Amino acid sequence: MADFTSGFWNWYIIVPTVAGIIACFLLLRWLSTAIKPEEQGKELGHVWDEDLVELNNPLPRWWLNLFYLTLFFGIGYLVLYPGLGTFPGMLGWTSVGRYQQEVDIADAKYGPLFSKYAAMDIVAVADDAVARHMGERLFVNYCATCHGSDARGARGFPNLRDNDWLYGGDPTVIEQTILDGRSGVMPAWEQALGGEAGVADVTEYVYSLGGRKVDQAAADRGQEQYQTLCVACHGAEGTGNQALGAPNLTDNVWLYGGSRKRVMESIAAGRNGVMPPHREFLGEDKVHLLAAYVYSLSTGQESETE
């Protein structure tokens, strides 16, 4: 159990807990002995439903014993398991230790199967129906929250079923992305572009790269700004740079939305996209299977009859 930032909080838990148990014992003792024999059975003047009378009787012995049993169970639990501040309990049980024990059991059972596929090329793993099914289970458990259960993504989270890749769709690159994560940053350019008008001009030029109808005069003005501020990442032709994770602006794939409003928001305020690393969490063998499944989504292998 982790230590508290102050010893006060340790005793803040121990003292009320121990005092509460002692108080319960004293209360039960008092309730079982406070009534004198000559007062037992006397009416207390409380009547319900016309003839239901409350009598001055002690609690039944079996009922008292149940309360005592509960208290003794509580004492035994606090001696054996953590519950009194930082005291770890005589058994040394921790939730982290229990989790690790379950992980070790699972690794011993399924580890050889993961190792079998880890020794295979990702493309070969993607061709194996059983491996794809295992990868799909991993995806649903660990990736669907962001990318969706169908892997088609959402605003700010890439669609993994198309063939558009920010960092490249090579199997080894996909695996590297899952293992170590990605951090993509689009700077905010509103101030550098002189305000909303400059942002609007660059938006028109970006639209023109994809062959859309634009205000040509605004696009021409935006081109000058683009060649000064944007070309380093997105390239002179706007085709992007997978080494930097800079998206291709000439297609019709938009991570944060392709409306003028969304594109202007991206240029003006910037974007920050983070793909968390899974190396330590899942391990390399599981990531290998997961990468094979993600690769199969874009190649169409996943949709084959199994």
pLDDT band of residue 257 (cuts 50, 70, 90) is very high
Domain assignment of residue 87, yes or no: no
Domain assignment of residue 92, yes or no: no
Q: Do residue 70 and residue 123 come from a single domain?
A: no
Burial 7-42 (b: 16+ CB within 10 A, else e): eeeeeeebeeeeeeeeeeeeebeeeeeeeeeeeeee
Which residue range forms the structural domain that includes residue 206? 184-275
Q: Do residue 168 and residue 284 come from a single domain?
A: yes
Q: Do residue 25 and residue 166 come from a single domain?
A: no
Q: Do residue 118 and residue 177 come from a single domain?
A: yes
Q: Please determine, for residue 2, whether its predicted confidence score (pLDDT) is greater than 60.
A: no
* Residue where one domain finishes, among candidates 80, 115, 136: 80
Domain assignment of residue 17, yes or no: yes
On average, the pLDDT of the chain sits at 91
Contact 1, 94 (CB under 8 A): yes
Q: Do residue 205 and residue 270 come from a single domain?
A: yes
Q: Please determine, for residue 23, whether its predicted confidence score (pLDDT) is greater than 90.
A: yes
- In this prediction, residue 305 carries a pLDDT of 43
Q: Please determine, for residue 57, whether its predicted confidence score (pLDDT) is greater than 70.
A: yes
What is the number of domains present in the chain? 3
Q: Do residue 242 and residue 193 come from a single domain?
A: yes
- In this prediction, residue 29 carries a pLDDT of 86
* Inter-CA distances, 167 with 27, 123, 261, 271, Å: 69, 18, 25, 16
* 40-67 average pLDDT score: 83
Question: How confident is the model over 189-223, as pLDDT tens digits?
Answer: 999 999 999 999 999 999 999 999 999 999 999 99
Q: Please determine, for residue 186, whether its predicted confidence score (pLDDT) is greater than 50.
A: yes
Strand partners, 246: 241
- In this prediction, residue 51 carries a pLDDT of 81
CA separation for the pair 197, 46 (Å, rounded)? 83
CA separation for the pair 67, 79 (Å, rounded)? 19
Question: How confident is the model over 164-181, as pLDDT tens digits?
Answer: 999 999 999 999 999 999
Q: Do residue 190 and residue 271 come from a single domain?
A: yes
Domain assignment of residue 88, yes or no: no
Q: Do residue 211 and residue 262 come from a single domain?
A: yes
CA separation for the pair 275, 177 (Å, rounded)? 8
CA separation for the pair 281, 269 (Å, rounded)? 32
Domain assignment of residue 290, yes or no: yes
* 69-93 average pLDDT score: 93
Q: Do residue 161 and residue 288 come from a single domain?
A: yes
* 239-255 average pLDDT score: 94
Q: Do residue 109 and residue 255 come from a single domain?
A: no
Domain assignment of residue 95, yes or no: no
Question: How confident is the model over 61-78, as pLDDT tens digits?
Answer: 898 899 999 999 999 999
Between 278 and 298, residue with greater pLDDT = 278
Domain assignment of residue 257, yes or no: yes
Q: Please determine, for residue 37, whether its predicted confidence score (pLDDT) is greater than 80.
A: no
Q: Please determine, for residue 45, whether its predicted confidence score (pLDDT) is greater than 50.
A: yes
pTM to 2 decimal places:
0.71
* 81-92 average pLDDT score: 90
Q: Do residue 17 and residue 47 come from a single domain?
A: yes
CATH classification of the domain holding 153 = 1.10.760.10
CA separation for the pair 9, 12 (Å, rounded)? 5
* 252-267 average pLDDT score: 95
| DSSP characters over the chain | -PPPSSHHHHHHHHHHHHHHHHHHHHHHHHHHHSS-GGGTT-EEEEEETTTEEEE--PPPHHHHHHHHHHHHHHHHHHHHSS-STT---TT---HHHHHHHHHHHHHHHHHHHHHHHHTS-HHHHHT-HHHHHHHHHHHHHHTHHHH-TTS--BTTB--SSSS--SS---HHHHHHHHHH-EEEEE---TTTTTSHHHHHHHHHHHHHHTT----HHHHHHHHHHHHHHTHHHH-TTS--BTTTTBPPSSSS--SS--SHHHHHHHHHH-EEEEE---HHHH-HHHHHHHHHHHHHHHHTGGGS--
Domain assignment of residue 29, yes or no: yes
Query: What's the sign of the alpha-carbon dihedral 133, 134, 135, 139?
Result: positive
- In this prediction, residue 3 carries a pLDDT of 64
Q: Do residue 113 and residue 172 come from a single domain?
A: yes
* Inter-CA distances, 31 with 56, 67, 68, Å: 11, 12, 12
